[in-house]
Amino acid sequence: MSIRPQAFESLVKAISQFPTIGPKTAARIALWLLSKPQSVSEEIGKTLIEARAQIRPCSVCYQFTDAEVCEICSDVSRDRSLICAVETSVDVWNFERTKQFKGLYHVLGGALSPIDGIGHDELKIDSLIDRIKKSDPPVAEIILATDPDTEGNATAYYISELLSGFNIKKTRLAHGIPIGGEVAYSDDATLSAALIERKLIG
Amino acid sequence: MSIRPQAFESLVKAISQFPTIGPKTAARIALWLLSKPQSVSEEIGKTLIEARAQIRPCSVCYQFTDAEVCEICSDVSRDRSLICAVETSVDVWNFERTKQFKGLYHVLGGALSPIDGIGHDELKIDSLIDRIKKSDPPVAEIILATDPDTEGNATAYYISELLSGFNIKKTRLAHGIPIGGEVAYSDDATLSAALIERKLIG
């Protein structure tokens, strides 16, 4: 039995649930909360509850949003003939930071992975097909921007197959050496891809 | 402006307040919360608020407790003639883990530190003197178990001076090489203390 008060143990246990937080860090955070006025715990606790309740998938593209339809899907200046299908909301945010993409997104919610029990029905594939069918203007291109790993590749090819009857350009992201990367420290697969996808200069 | 929804930013900002948690880890924790049912956020949020509200300083020894008087102060089997004065509640918990100490504690709430604005009135020194004056049975020994650093030493000597008119044994923790430690890797101060406080064997 621990000598620490039960309420303290509950606090540590609650905080330990967070990923990357072990029991020692959780105890440190709990002590920090005790060193602060009660209003700090109340504010953080309420934010956890309220923010979680406010955030939901966009009813069109399924990225996390606090509106019924997300900012991107509501933005009339975006190119509606271009959809970038990604695995997660974080992917959307990362693409947006580049300011390179002016189309719409579709968050699949992961990649096909029979081992983890993730099949067609676990992903937002049907709604993607539906969106494409009903789109006005028609979708001209879909970028299948799933991760370049086994599951991501399989998912991209699977969706590509489903769209084989549609008059749509289907693309994948380019592979190659990362900007600022070094040939000497690139893995074989990346280097092969960079060779195969090499481009003319000068 | 971030593309991440405002509620997500609030969530990340709330979690980033915790010590040792940077914005990247906070975002990872926020995404983890979104991947779990809302009940998880609710339970953790409520625990933060409720546990913080339940935990308070023991009215006798000032260690963190969820009762009016803590488990140790309420325990009639403990030796009431022996008080161990420490800086924090964590010190109490650490001593209790050793199962070596059967007396009572007094949590000072830190150590004297003029630079940090911590003087006599910021610490629970008056209440310690008061406790000793009123104690029945009388206090026979006080262990001034503050940290062996400048502030901790100063605090121990200060309290020791205040108790100079009392018929009480005043002790400090022994110094020396940690169990499992190595002479080769001990600092000079520790080695000097270990030499001075050497004891007979055999």
Q: What is the pLDDT of residues A33-47, one digit of tens each?
A: 999 999 999 999 999
N-terminal to C-terminal alpha carbon distance within chain A: 73
Q: Which residues of A touch B2 (CB under 8 A)?
A: 93
Coil, helix or strand at residue A152:
helix
Nearest to B148 by CA among B122, B125, B168, B174: B174
| ipTM reported for the complex surpasses 0.85 | no
Q: Is A41 in contact with B49 (Cβ distance < 8 A)?
A: yes
Nearest to B173 by CA among B188, B192, B152: B152
Q: Is B3 in contact with A33 (Cβ distance < 8 A)?
A: no
Tell me the average pLDDT of chain A.
93
CA distance linking residue A5 with residue B64, whole number of Å: 7
Contact of B61 with chain A, judged by CB distance below 8 Å, is answered with: no
Q: Is B48 in contact with A90 (Cβ distance < 8 A)?
A: no
Expressed in percent and rounded to 5, the helix, strand and coil fractions of chain B are: 50, 10, 40
pLDDT tens, residue by residue, A78-137: 999 999 999 999 999 989 988 889 999 999 999 999 999 999 999 999 999 999 999 999
Q: Residue A183: its pLDDT value, please? A: 87
Q: What angle do CA A21, A22, A25 make, to 5 degrees?
A: 75
Mean pLDDT lowest among A46-55, A72-81, A171-180: A171-180
Q: Which residues of A touch B3 (CB under 8 A)?
A: 71-72, 92-93, 96-97
> For residue B48, what are its two tokens?
């933060």
In CATH, what class is B78-171? alpha beta
Contact of B201 with chain A, judged by CB distance below 8 Å, is answered with: no
Q: Which residue type is seen at B125?
A: I
For A189, half-sphere exposure in the C-beta direction (CA atoms, 13 angstrom radius) is: 4
Q: Which residues of B touch A47 (CB under 8 A)?
A: 10-11, 13-14, 45
* Residues in CB range of B30: below 8 A, 6 or more apart: A51, B8, B11, B12, B15
pLDDT tens, residue by residue, A9-38: 999 999 999 999 999 999 999 999 999 999
Domain spans, chain A: 6-54, 78-171, 174-202
- Would you state the torsion angle of the CA atoms of residues A135, A138, A143, A146, taken in this order, to the nearest 10 degrees? 20
* Residues in CB range of A85: below 8 A, 6 or more apart: A105, A106, A108, A128, A142, A143, A144, A145, A146, A159
Q: How far is A127 from chain B (nearest CA, A)?
A: 20
| B72 within 8 A of A3, measured Cβ to Cβ | yes
Coil, helix or strand at residue B21:
coil
Q: How far is B8 from chain A (nearest CA, A)?
A: 6
Q: Is A5 in contact with B67 (Cβ distance < 8 A)?
A: yes
What CATH number has the domain spanning B6-54? 1.10.8.420
Distances (CA, A) of B191 to B122, B173, B180: 34, 16, 14
Mean pLDDT by 10 residues, chain B (202 residues): 84 96 94 94 97 95 95 96 95 90 96 95 97 95 94 96 94 89 87 85 78
